[in-house]
């Protein structure tokens, strides 16, 4: 793995210089901002009435303005929004090499293709971790500014762990996105894949089989359809890990063996 630090350095440089991961982060920051706005409205019924439609929508999403509700909504936003945003970032990290025709410069170099793919996946992982921490911190700051009642340190710590776990589950499901971006040689196929998985995740979760469908698991884990203990079992995590391993093996296999004509 002598060349791995170099591969990682190059991937981090590309991510730092590009606007895509930054824009995705900014877009994702809307989640705690919206969550905070709802809390603000819920806290002050008078103002909520003045705001009309928004107030009704806020009441549909949550019942009381307190930290537990705030964190719950934030977790759900990370679970659902995370698939979209993380798919965009993964599609960009892998697909751009083909769209920009730079893949050919990564193939006949002493740094092995395995190390290059691994470095890309590590950057996706780092971005996920940083974004999750960022969103949580922004959430804390907004909650503090809105002065939401019901704070406990234990709740805050538990919510942080939940957000990280949801982000981790979503991250595991990014290996198929990486594979499709590589095989499809661009951004569009993986984004199409992301839309499809979100669509089917909703449908399958609604039929009650979501615990068997990997792409429904992060949302079910977030509590979007009720307490996770009732909805998910060990098998749910096993199929997420299986889907991830399948995507991982497919991505590595493709980079090592497919004809690279771009």
Q: Are 135 and 74 in contact (CB under 8 A)?
A: yes
Half-sphere exposure of 42 (CA within 13 A, CB side): 24
Q: Which helix (H) or strand (E) holds 49?
A: helix 45-51
Of residues 38 through 57, those in contact with other proteins by CB under 8 A are none
Write phi, then psi, for 81 (nearest 5 degrees).
-70, -30
User: Contact between 1 and other proteins (CB under 8 A)?
Assistant: no
Q: What angle do CA 80, 86, 91 make, to 5 degrees?
A: 130
Tell me which of 105, 153, 207, 227 binds other proteins, using CB under 8 A: 105
User: Contact between 259 and other proteins (CB under 8 A)?
Assistant: yes
Residue whose CB is less far from other proteins, 100 or 147: 100
Q: How far is the CB of 193 from other proteins (least distance, A)?
A: 25
Judged by CB under 8 A, the stretch of 41-49, 109-117, 198-206, 224-232 that binds other proteins is 109-117
User: Contact between 107 and other proteins (CB under 8 A)?
Assistant: yes
User: Contact between 228 and other proteins (CB under 8 A)?
Assistant: no
Applying CB under 8 A, the site for other proteins has a residue count of 31
Query: How many Å apart are CA 188 and CA 235, to the nearest integer?
Result: 31
Tell me which of 100, 158, 203, 233 binds other proteins, using CB under 8 A: 100
Tell me which of 29, 59, 112, 202 binds other proteins, using CB under 8 A: 112
Query: How many Å apart are CA 127 and CA 30, to the nearest integer?
Result: 17
User: Contact between 249 and other proteins (CB under 8 A)?
Assistant: no
User: Contact between 113 and other proteins (CB under 8 A)?
Assistant: yes
Dig out the tokens for 79 from the structure: 């679970």
Query: How many Å apart are CA 14 and CA 70, to the nearest integer?
Result: 35
Residue whose CB is less far from other proteins, 193 or 255: 255
Q: Which helix (H) or strand (E) holds 164?
A: helix 153-172
Q: Are 201 and 210 in contact (CB under 8 A)?
A: yes
Residue whose CB is less far from other proteins, 8 or 173: 8
Residues that bind other proteins (CB under 8 A): 2-3, 6-7, 9-10, 13-14, 17-19, 100-102, 104-113, 116, 255-257, 259-261
């Amino acid at each position: 793995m002598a060349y791995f630090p170099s591969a990682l350095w190059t991937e981090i440089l590309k991510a730092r210089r590009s606007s895509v991961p930054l824009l995705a982060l900014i877009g994702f920051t809307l989640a705690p901002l919206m969550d905070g706005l709802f809390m603000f409205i819920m806290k002050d019924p008078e103002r909520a009435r003045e705001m009309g439609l928004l107030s009704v929508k806020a009441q549909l999403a949550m019942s009381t303005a307190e930290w537990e509700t705030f964190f719950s909504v934030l977790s759900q936003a990370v679970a659902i929004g995370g698939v979209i945003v993380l798919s965009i970032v993964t599609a960009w990290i892998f697909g751009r090499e083909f769209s920009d025709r730079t893949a050919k410069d990564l193939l006949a170099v002493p740094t092995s293709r395995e190390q290059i793919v691994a470095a890309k996946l590590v950057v996706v992982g780092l971005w996920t971790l940083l974004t999750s921490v960022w969103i949580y911190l922004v959430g804390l700051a907004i909650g503090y500014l809105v002065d939401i009642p019901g704070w406990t340190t234990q709740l805050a710590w538990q919510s942080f762990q939940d957000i990280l776990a949801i982000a981790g589950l979503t991250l595991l499901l990014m290996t198929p996105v990486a594979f499709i971006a590589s095989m499809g040689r661009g951004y569009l196929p993986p984004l199409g894949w992301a839309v499809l998985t979100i669509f089917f995740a909703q449908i399958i979760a609604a039929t009650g089989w979501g615990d068997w469908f990997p792409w429904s698991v992060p949302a079910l884990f977030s509590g979007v359809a009720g307490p996770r203990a009732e909805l998910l079992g060990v098998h749910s995590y096993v199929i997420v890990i299986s889907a991830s391993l399948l995507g991982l093996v497919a991505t590595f296999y493709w980079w090592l063996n497919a004809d690279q004509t771009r």
